[in-house]
Amino acid sequence: MPATTPDRTALRGDCASCFGLCCVALPFAASADFAVDKPAGKPCTNLQQDFGCGIHARLREKGFTGCTVYDCFGAGQKVSQVTFGGRDWRSEPALRQPMFEAFPVVRHLHELLSYLTEALALPQARPLHAELRTALEETERLTLGTPEELAALDLAAHREGVSALLLRTSELVRSAAGRKTRNHRGADLMGARLRGADLRGANLRGAYLIAADLGGADLRGADLIGADLRDANLAGADLTGSLFLTQPQLHAARGDAATKLPAGLTRPAHWTSAGR
What is the full per-residue pLDDT of the chain (276 aa) written as tens digits?
A: 343 444 677 898 999 999 999 999 999 999 988 999 999 999 999 999 999 999 998 998 999 999 988 999 999 999 999 999 999 999 999 999 999 999 999 999 999 999 999 999 999 999 999 999 999 999 999 999 999 999 999 999 999 999 999 999 999 999 887 777 889 999 999 999 999 999 999 999 999 999 999 999 999 999 999 999 999 999 999 999 999 999 999 999 999 999 999 988 999 988 975 444
Rounded Cα distance, 10 and 150, in Å = 19
Residue 78 CB partners (closer than 8 Å, separation 6+): 106, 110, 143
Residues 173 and 221 sit within 8 Å (Cβ to Cβ): yes
In this prediction, residue 229 carries a pLDDT of 97
In this prediction, residue 7 carries a pLDDT of 61
Residue 23 CB partners (closer than 8 Å, separation 6+): 43, 44, 46, 47, 51, 53
Exposed, middle or buried: residue 177 (CB in 10 Å: 0-12, 13-18, 19+)? middle
In this prediction, residue 176 carries a pLDDT of 80
DSSP assigned state of 259: -
CB atoms within 10 A of CB 152: 10
In this prediction, residue 160 carries a pLDDT of 97
Going along the chain from its start, the domains and CATH numbers come out as 8-174 (no CATH), 180-276 (2.160.20.80)
Rounded Cα distance, 204 and 182, in Å = 8
Rounded Cα distance, 247 and 69, in Å = 8
First-to-final CA distance of the chain: 42
In this prediction, residue 85 carries a pLDDT of 97
